[in-house]
Amino acid sequence: MPPKPVTSETARRRRRPTKAGTVLTHELIVATALRMLAEHGAEGLSARRLGLALGADPSTVYRYFAGMDDLVLAIADELIHQALSGWEPTGRWRSDLRALGTAIHGAYLAHPQAAQLTANRVSGRSNEIAADETILGILYGAGFQGEAAARIYHAFIDQTLAFAALDAASLALPLEAREADERQWQATYARLPGARYPHIAAAVPLLVGRMNESAYSAALDLLLAGAAAELGG
């Protein structure tokens, strides 16, 4: 049986409100799904629960999305939209890439459960395409061409999304588990015998204050410094 066609935006707006008086839109469904992910995690996101939250029949979701995976891709694109909405170019390529990477990383961490579900996905949607075009445009404008631009773009976006997934996984942990992890550098590593673990013992005073924070900013600076070195400054 062929999949049901997704209803056009015009047709959606012609539909009558739900019993609760809500006029459904693509944006409302995505926003509600984001809220449900924050409250219940990925296992709590289903057409049935989404329908209940919207005050609509669960099948209504399939008039807007080809399936739940299609909704997940829309959520991924929404996170990129949120990142782009707060970013403005300056014309300085390192500053622009740093600010854009930080914005994308931050948008995912604002929705850690959604980040875990979407950071490894390729949506092929408008905001993702706009972000890719912007990043490559910055690189080409800086003087990178061909293979160099593609390689740095690849490293930049994969590093950003990898850190987003890693840091989101930590934020999504139950508070008790997260706090237990954060105590390990003081409770375990700082107490290891220096004679047996000399390198850890030497590094611990410097690491205790860092290991519970994201390394994304430092990693991004290293990436951009390496890219700048290729341009000779």
DSSP 88-119: ---S-HHHHHHHHHHHHHHHHHTSHHHHHHHT
- What's the pLDDT score for residue 7? 47
Residues of the chain with confidence (pLDDT) below 50: 1-4, 6-7, 9-14
Q: Determine the pLDDT at residue 209.
A: 82
Q: What is the pLDDT of residue 182?
A: 87
Q: Give pLDDT, residue 18.
A: 59
Pick the CATH number of 9-66 from 1.10.10.60, 1.10.3720.10, 3.40.50.1100, 3.90.320.10: 1.10.10.60
Indicate where the chain has its CATH 1.10.357.10 domain(s): 89-231
3-state secondary structure of 145: coil
CATH class of 89-231: mainly alpha
pLDDT of residue 216: 97
Q: Cα separation of 202 and 210, whole Å? A: 14
Q: CATH 1.10.10.60: which residues of the chain?
A: 9-66
Report pLDDT for 20. 58
Report pLDDT for 178: 87
Q: What is the pLDDT of residue 27?
A: 93
Against a cut of 0.75, is the pTM above it? yes
